[in-house]
Chains A and B, each alone.
Chain A
Amino acid sequence: MGVLYNFKLSIEEKIKADGLDAAEVRGKFGLRTGRLMSLISPSTADDPASIAKFRQAAKELLKLNL
């Protein structure tokens, strides 16, 4: 537990650092991963499929290695 939440924090940081439209990026991640970042909390269970999807989406959308 906590891996997806840490991914979320890293993505939020990247959005802030690059000055991107947060809502738009969150939407893109949502459609690509089937998980909405707004609904990920520290208690969200980590499932391997979502972790893999987030890694892939972060690389493609933000060039971010999670």
Chain B
Amino acid sequence: MKWNSIRTKVLAAMTGCLITGVTGTLLLLRSSFAQNSRALATESVNAAQRLFSILEARETSKMGAVSEALATNPEVSAALAARDRTRLLSLTSPLYSQLKTEGITNWMFHTAEPGMSVFLRLHNPAKYGDELNRFMDKEVSRTHATVTGNELAKAGFAARMIQPVYDSGGRLTGYIEFGEEIGRFIHEMKSQTGDNYGLLLNKKFINRKFWADTSASLNRRDDWSDHGHSWSPITRRRVIGLFSSMAT
């Protein structure tokens, strides 16, 4: 083979062009694949956010209808005003069975100020008298208007609604609260989309002892240290998973 022959030079040029072409095409395909993957991932996250908002709005609306019907009930208001826990429990417990099947996992009555405390927990009647001091409690106490939101509390992370209860004379007798655990939303999202979801919380905003206590009360493994030295690749924050496994 003569290295300086025209044939060799043409072959070399053609091989060079082929390699350049193939390499260029591969790089283009790789870039396009990465771009499409990013776009799909972003769209998937956005769709999940939209779905979560829709589910949240639907459940909040449901809790609103339930709350309104009960907060305006004279028997409920009278029992709360009289601090008659037994009467309040007998009035409301039959209804709690239905609400549980509708996904309302937490139902509480609070006393009015001063010393706003839990008067009755329908989901745990034996436990009462504690002051929760959560943001939503302070807000409803400050505004005396219905407050809705998502909050992490002893019974878990839930979408909640707290509404004041007044007697026929317009005096505040206490508060009624409904909550629906977020875990139910996550399961519903999975059943609708087929995707897996998890919830990450920034440890900066979580009290260590609180997490241990709630884990114990919910029979959940205390997984605080599982992610203690790692960073979430998604949020770049020290995180803890509220759900140790994905929704199934």
Q: Chain A interface (Cβ within 8 Å of chain B)?
A: 21, 23-24, 26-28, 30-31, 34-39
Contact = CB atoms under 8 A, between A and B. Distances in A.
Interface string B71-113: 1111110000000000000011011011100100000000000
Given A38-B65, A39-B62, A39-B66, A24 B72 contact: yes
Say what secondary structure dominates the interface of chain A.
Answer: helix
Interface of B: 62, 65-66, 68-76, 91-92, 94-95, 97-99, 102
B92 A31 contact: yes
A46 to B, nearest CB: 14
Interface of B is mostly: helix
Contacts of A23: 68-69, 71-72
Most chain A beta-carbon contacts within 10 A, residue among B70, B97, B102: B70
Contacts of A28: 73, 75
Contacts of A37: 69
Contacts of B70: 27, 30-31
Contact of B62 (A31, A35, A38): A38
A5 B124 CA distance: 31
11 contacts: A23-B68, A24-B73, A26-B68, A27-B73, A34-B98, A35-B95, A36-B69, A36-B95, A38-B62, A38-B65, A38-B66
Contacts of B102: 39
Contacts of B92: 31
Question: Which among B62, B69, B70, B74 has the greatest number of chain A C-beta atoms within 10 A?
Answer: B69
Contacts of B72: 21, 23-24, 27
B97 A27 contact: no
A6 B68 CA distance: 22
B123 to A, nearest CB: 16
Contacts of B62: 38-39
Contact of A35 (B73, B74, B76, B98): B98
A21 B74 CA distance: 12
Contacts of B76: 27, 31
B14 to A, nearest CB: 70
A36 B91 contact: no
Most chain A CB inside 10 Å of its own CB: which residue of B66, B71, B92, B102:
B66
Contacts of B73: 24, 27-28, 30-31
Given A27-B76, A31-B75, A31-B91, A38 B98 contact: no
A31 B122 CA distance: 14
A59 to B, nearest CB: 18
Nearest to B77: A27
A45 to B, nearest CB: 11
Nearest to B99: A36
A38 B69 contact: yes
Contacts of A35: 95, 98
A55 to B, nearest CB: 17
A36 B68 contact: no
